[in-house]
Structures are given as structure tokens and as C-alpha cells.
Amino acid sequence: MDSQGSVLPLSMQALWCAVRHRFSLEAASPDVQRELHGRTVPWDSKVIGDLKQTLTVCRVLLFSAPFYLAYIQIMNNLISQAGQMRLGGIPNDTMQVWNPVACIVLGPIVQRGLFPLLRKSGVPFGPIVRISAACFIMGAAMAYAAGIQHLIYSRGPCYDHPLGCPDAVVMQGSSTVTVGNDVSVWVQMPVWFILATAEILGFATISEIAYEQAPKSMKSVVQAVTQLTAGLAAIIGIALSPITKDPTLVVLYSVIAGLTVVAALPFWFFFRTLDHTKSEEGPGRQEA
């Protein structure tokens, strides 16, 4: 029973047994099955314990779908937003370079500065609080993006249809180019640093939970659920596609900001005891 190949089938049998007993893993334990049903099951109590732990980790991961939804805006909508502004000669997709730069700059500050300061101050900042804070910060980044989009729509020459009016086509030398609305692309800079802060707190902690708290026999399942969470975020993004266009991009960013912030509250409420459990087991590696 050491290999995943032998544990997973037993885990699925135990899980199905729990489903048939009103979704109770306790009812699927070997002792209960023996005492109440006179039945000897092929799994042991360790399989039940690993299942409980795995399901808890998977619930934490699935709750982070709105966080992933906000993050994937880096790869599409925020780049398009940059293209709707005055670029000053730089390509609009160059702006996303500031995200890894911000991570490199802010990472040591958060890990070597913020975390030790909070520990010395006695402020609890376990994994669940960190992910909740990351959701709030990610929501703030999307709210800032909504503000930028509103600013773009308030400026000419094309107002709420950037790049889409005849006045956006101008002559530069012997060629014609299409220019964005009269807003400097550099007003977008803070959003990349806000996103980087959320990434440092969120993704690092999600990876920590997936690796450290998943049972050894179930790590492949947890990693699969991590990818499933990203897929769920993409599905939500597809559902929002009707407003992923001008002149409703302000609504898009506002909706994503709201989803991310609202998700943080029930996330913390339902999983806050995991921070207490981790504290009782011993001081965690906040720098991880």
C-alpha cells in the first residue's frame, strides 16, 4: 500500500463507501464497517485519514478559483488594455514584463521583512490568512484596472471604443498608425506590482498547502485538482466573455474584483481552523 497505484483504488472504494453512507468517511472506517455491518474492508484507517486530509486540501484549492480568474487577466485583458492607451513607442505586451520584475523586487521584502515582522508582533498570518489576504489584494488590483478602464473611456479620441474610430488613425512619417486614447500607459504600472504582491502571498501558499499538507499517497490527486481549479477559472472567464469587450470592460474588471474579494470571506470562515491546527503542530515556515 505504499505506492499510489495500490492506494488510489482502495481510496476510491473507501470514498464510494462513504458516499453510500451519507458522505461520512467515519462510516467507511474499517472499525465501523466491522462493528455495524460485520464486514471486513480492504482499506485501513490510514487510507481514511489520508482521504480526509486530501479532501480538505482539495476544498481549499477549489475555493481559490476566483483568484486564478483574476490572475489570468495578466495574459490577455490587461495587455489589451495597455494597447488602448498612449504607448510612447513601446509595444503594449511589454507591460507584462513588469509582473516578474515586481515579483523579484517584492518577494524578498515580503518574505524577509513582512513575515518576520508579523511573527514578532504576534500577528497570526498562517496559510489561510495569507490566501485570504491575497484574494483581497488581487481584488484591489482588478478594482484598479477597472478605474484605469474608466479613465480610458473618459478620454478621446475614441472614448468608450478605443482604437475604433477614424480619429485614432494618424500619420507618422509616411505610414499610418492607430493610437490609443489620451492616457499614458504608465498609469497601468501599479497594477503589476499589486498583482505581484497577491501572487507572492497566494500562489506560494497554495503550492505550500498542496505539497506539505497533501498525503504522500495522494499528491498526484492534489496536483490534478490544482490544475482543475485553473480550468474552472478559465470556464468562469468564458462565461464572462460577453462583457469582455468595449464598452463593458469596466464591468468585467469590477465583476472579477467583486468575485475575488467576496470569495475571500467564506474562504477564511470555512478554513480558518486549519491555521489553528498548523499552529498547534508547530511553527510553520512563513517564508516558504
Domain-by-domain residue ranges, the chain?
A: 64-150+186-276
pTM for the model stands at: 0.86
Instruction: Give the percent of the chain with pLDDT over 90.
Output: 57
Distance of CA 210 to the CA centre of its chain: 13
Q: Is the pLDDT of residue 2 over 70?
A: no
* CATH code for residues 64-150+186-276: 1.20.1250
Best CA proximity match to 210, nearest among 78, 64, 88, 14: 64
pLDDT tens digits, one per residue of 100-127: 999 999 999 999 999 999 999 998 889 9
Convert the pLDDT of each residue in 225-268 to its tens digit: 999 999 999 999 999 999 999 999 999 999 999 999 999 999 99
